[in-house]
Chain A
């Protein structure tokens, strides 16, 4: 059976003539598909944004850095309650790793608290104060825009110095060079050594620029007890040796925390990899559920199309009869109605994308993202498929009409 191009063209012409002839009805029916496509593409865009935000944030953790904490980032093989009741990770562990580890390149303990920061009359509330060793830059991968970070000597000596995040700098020193100025953190005086580069936010939630970094020894004196819980960042000499580094540190920590051979680890050595795994699991579930729920609206739109196609077939019974009488075979009638419903849905899909695109730009302002080209193509493809699937039953019915009955239909 040869497929005539003219037959296809005829089908197209009929489809668009039918859509034009019933403008209001076509618009209303298409609306279902429009809404479906808008929600699905926006969901796809949001998921893309989530992925991007995560990947950007995760990159800041560094793939060659281990994070020693009470808490595990992985899937919860350990009970939350057990982890909470563990002994705190203390500064002694950081010192032991520094002293004994051969694989570690840099070791940096860190902890945080929220305080207000003032300079003269200017006040920034709720700033995250990070108490850290001297190796923050090495272990976190962040960089200083101008000025400098504090030295090991300043860190060990617990000097009242600090390096501040770009947002804090912008708020406290809108028209001044902050270097060398004295600010007050929670009432205590600190001298500003430098300002960090802008870093954005972690997972799109908390700004990494609204921070002040001070020597951890000073932090313990002024903001928090020495006994409080720490995170120790350990940068391995190479990514290839990460597993060995992990094993070595595990041994050092067990000794440092006085664990007996039969005791379980009462700490976790986290790495970027675990967070990626966790995210992929959670992100996958979010994406699946999100697309399923939004896909439902597309499904509802498809039912609307099917409904209207049945109406269209009934209305045009006589036309079908005429076409059959003068020799249209079944497949031509089938094709004609399939093309009509596919065209309806495709128009809906295109309108949906035209609507969704500006909305995705709005989303972009708080969750950096862009509507992926693949989503656009998939959306158009899906709308055609929805059209063909929901148009099939009505079209099949039309193609099976008996010409005698169809011609007699009033």
Chain B
């Protein structure tokens, strides 16, 4: 009903030489609005494939994927691009910023592809940058920023289109613990503000920030449970530039 993501019996096969690899084998998940979900699993468990499918970067071999009650499982490339642009905010482990563009341009890029006019775009981008506390770095290039700052830029870029879900793939994987904690606090705050967050990670520590844990093994859901002993960082998430 009000679920944002409805995955029904999703499978994904890859043909590797002679062999058929089941990356996902009958996965069904429902995610409600404003949920905070951690997807976990060892490498090869299918969590990257699941993330790609949820992120509309890839389509399932079979099964139904409804995002906001729209069937996206058999959309074409360009339709998927539009969905990614409007509905999904990606935060990558390696930040994936455009190296030659400054912070502002990186953040406004999704709005350019979304066809938002220049004035409106700048306004939204500045707001998103302010939200992650990087207003004073707005004209810096990624290589002039620290890892934590880069990840903040990538979060701002994910937020700027006000997507239905924030999809973070190992967002702290390339950061030291302290910076990682800061980023996770930012996610916590974003969740409190009403965002739906899906966190892909293999670190239990990071997963503890979420409300629900889905553990995959060999392309199947092994565990899908609420997290009781949540890790709550009480320090305020003010600007840490």
B113 A326 Cβ-Cβ under 8 A: yes
Instruction: Give CA–CA (A322, B117) in the complex, Å.
Output: 21
Residue A324, interface by CB 8 Å: yes
Residues of B with C-beta under 8 A to A6: 112, 115-118, 121
How far apart are the CA atoms of A2 and B82 in the complex, in Å? Answer: 13
Which A residues are in CB contact (< 8 Å) with B90?
Answer: 325-326
What's the A-B contact tally at a CB cutoff of 8 Å? 69
Given A21-B100, A322-B96, A407-B96, answer yes or no on A327-B114 (Cβ-Cβ < 8 Å): yes
> Size class of A's contact patch?
20 to 34
Chain B residues with CB under 8 Å of A402's CB are: 58
B81 at the interface (CB under 8 A from A): yes
Bound-state CA distance A267–B100 (Å) is 79
Which of A199-207, A230-238, A258-266, A328-336 lines the interface with chain B?
A: A328-336
| In the assembled complex, B109 has its CB within 8 A of some CB on chain A | yes
Docked-complex contact A328 and B113, CB < 8 angstroms? yes
Contacts of B110 in A (CB 8 A): 326-327
Instruction: Determine if B115 and A323 form an interchain contact, defined as CB atoms under 8 angstroms apart.
Output: no
Q: With A4-B115, A322-B98 known to touch, is A330 a contact of B84 (CB < 8 Å)?
A: no
CA distance A17 to B101 in the complex (A): 9
Q: Which residue of A lies closest to B99 (CB)?
A: A319
Say whether, besides A17-B100, A322-B96, A327 and B118 are in contact (CB < 8 Å): no
Select the residue from B86, B97, B110 with max chain A CB neighbours within 10 A: B110
Whether A7 contacts B100 by the Cβ 8 Å rule is no
Complex Cα–Cα for A326 and B100 (A): 17
Specify which of A2, A318, A322, A328 is in contact with B81 (CB 8 Å cutoff). A328
Closest to B160 in A: A326
Task: For B109, give its contact among A321, A323, A329, A330 (CB under 8 Å).
Answer: A323
Query: In whole angstroms, what is the CA distance A404 to B80 when docked?
Result: 13
Tell me how far the C-beta of B33 lies from the nearest C-beta in chain A, rounded to whole angstroms.
21
Tell me whether A327 and B57 are in contact in the complex, defined as CB-CB below 8 angstroms, given that A21-B100, A407-B96 are known contacts. Answer: no
Q: List 20 A-B contacts (CB under 8 A).
A: A4-B112, A4-B115, A6-B116, A10-B109, A324-B84, A325-B57, A326-B90, A326-B109, A327-B84, A327-B86, A327-B110, A327-B114, A329-B77, A329-B78, A329-B81, A329-B113, A330-B77, A332-B113, A404-B57, A407-B57
